Amino acid sequence: MQLAPQLIDIEQKLWTNDPVLYRNSFIEEALLIFPETGMITRDAAIDAILMENVENRRWAEVQFSAVRSLRLADNVILLTYKAAARWAHEESPNLVFASSVYVERDGAWKLAFHQQTPLDAA
């Protein structure tokens, strides 16, 4: 499997709100930035996902477009994309630009950083 499709596959799976996947896909010291929370750690993101799961909040669908990848170093890749993601309890999708930085650690690609910037629906 080529690297970009492998990273896109990881990104798409992360939208399933699986806390175990988050723990396994992010490096321990990872940082995430979301419009709703600001900057949080991997562990804070996992706690938020656990709460969303208790509240039965799930993404019903997510679609990626404008996907690009850029190798910043031998073991560092930047992945950017536009996401249209709809919560199961909402009618319209949330539109965001997303950026993720992956690092290779112990032979596996792991997320070190993820940020979402909201887009206007217009």
Given a cut of 50, whether residue 122 has pLDDT beyond it is no
In total, how many domains does the chain have? Answer: 1
Here the CATH number for the domain that contains residue 59 is 3.10.450.50
Structure tokens that stand for 33 in this block? 């930035």
Mean pLDDT of the chain: 93
How distant is the alpha carbon of residue 28 from its chain centre? Answer: 15
Host domain of residue 113 = 3-118
Given a cut of 80, whether residue 56 has pLDDT beyond it is yes
Global pTM exceeds 0.75:
yes
> pLDDT of 1-32, one tens digit each?
578 889 999 999 999 999 999 999 999 999 99
Q: What is the mean pLDDT of residues 35-45?
A: 94
Q: What is the mean pLDDT of residues 63-91?
A: 95
DSSP state for residue 89 in the 8-state scheme:
T
- Rounded to whole angstroms, the Cα distance separating 100 from 89 reads 26
Question: CA 82 → CA 46, 54, 100, 105, distances in Å?
Answer: 23, 28, 12, 26
